[in-house]
Structure 1
Amino acid sequence: MTDEVVLRRAVADDARAAADVWLRSFRAALPTVVRPHSDDDVRAYFRDVVVPARETWVAQAAGDGGIVGVMVLDEEELSQLYLDPEWRGRGIGDRFVALAKERRPGGLTLWTFQVNQPAHRFYERHGFTAAESTDGSGNEEREPDVRYVWRP
């Protein structure tokens, strides 16, 4: 079953809904990772930085029109890709990655936590390769991570 979902550039009014998708997705996918910021801090970051200053895209469901996914590009970095947990497995992530490759045809990089094995499988299926692993000392969560790279 394919649900009708439109990918579009985020506008200021989408910031809270996009942040809430991020929060729900993070909780579901990364329950062992300690978040360094409160929910309100995350919402403020999306409102004040992510949506106005980054290339932010949302997946909007038909019908109720709710935001069910968010993707953020920052230069060549795919810095965020989060889906509402109830909307995973419906091809939205695949569409976001295709869009990211279209928007950045020269290549992409991204970071994901080492504990997030489903993300590793997802990105590897889309042609990304692990380029670097760290002990997490360079990220706010202090969680070991992996940098992935895609080159055409």
Structure 2
Amino acid sequence: MHSNDVLLRRAVGTDARAAAGVWLRSFAAALPTVRCAHKEADVRDWFARVLVPRYDTWVAVTGNSVVGLMVLNEEELKQLYLDPTWRGRGLGDRFMDLAKKQQPDRLSLWTFQVNTSAHRFYERHGFIAVERTDGARNDEHEPDVRYIWQPPPAR
């Protein structure tokens, strides 16, 4: 199935459990060397109590399955995770287009330094690395990098 067969829509409360499942599977697949700082039950609770109701949360849905998620907090892209079976099918590109449409003036995000595939993805979409840290400020205590995207100046 191609990403064009997937609907991107705002998340509702009933999506929280499935979206948390995508997050957990994606984190494990994409970051095998990074210790997940939260128990599975806590991640699911966080999705249900915080991410879906309080943030601009979007899901990618095919049939009855959530296969991706994106969370924006104004200009900050807080989360972008795809089910591992959906990587490389254009779904991330669709989410990125949506993020830029929602926040056309600027986007910022953090990703782990070890996540080189994320670096390539974001850089391909025009993001520039602006800061690197030792990870002391994130829950995983994993070195990270901050990226910024801004549209090119109007001519």
Instruction: Name the SS of the counterpart of 2:111 in structure 1.
Output: strand
- 2:7 aligned residue: 6
- Length-normalised TM-score, structure 2: 0.95
Aligned equivalents of 2:131, 2:82: Cα separation in 1: 25
Aligned equivalents of 1:30, 1:149: Cα separation in 2: 22
Letter in 2 for 1:110: L
- 5+ residue gaps, structure 2, are none
- 2:42 aligned residue: 41
Aligned equivalents of 2:79, 2:45: Cα separation in 1: 16
Letter in 2 for 1:2: H
- 5+ residue gaps, structure 1, are none
Cα deviation code 1:91-131 (max 9, x no counterpart)? 00000000000000110000000000000000000000000
Letter in 1 for 2:120: R
- 2:131 aligned residue: 132
Instruction: Name the SS of the counterpart of 1:132 in structure 2.
Output: strand
- 1:16 aligned residue: 17
Instruction: Give the CA deviation at 1:75.
Output: 1.5
Letter in 2 for 1:81: L
Aligned equivalents of 1:112, 1:21: Cα separation in 2: 17
Residues matched between the structures, number: 150
Instruction: Give the CA deviation at 1:60.
Output: 0.2
Instruction: Give the CA deviation at 1:143.
Output: 0.1
Cα deviation code 1:15-68 (max 9, x no counterpart)? 00000000000000001111111000000000000000000000001xx32000
1:3-152 matched pairs, under 5 angstroms: 3=3, 4-61=5-62, 64-152=63-151
Aligned equivalents of 1:85, 1:37: Cα separation in 2: 20
Instruction: Name the SS of the counterpart of 2:93 in structure 1.
Output: helix
Overall identity of the aligned pairs, in %: 65
Aligned equivalents of 1:87, 1:36: Cα separation in 2: 24
Aligned equivalents of 2:46, 2:37: Cα separation in 1: 13
Letter in 2 for 1:85: P
TM-align CA RMSD: 0.8
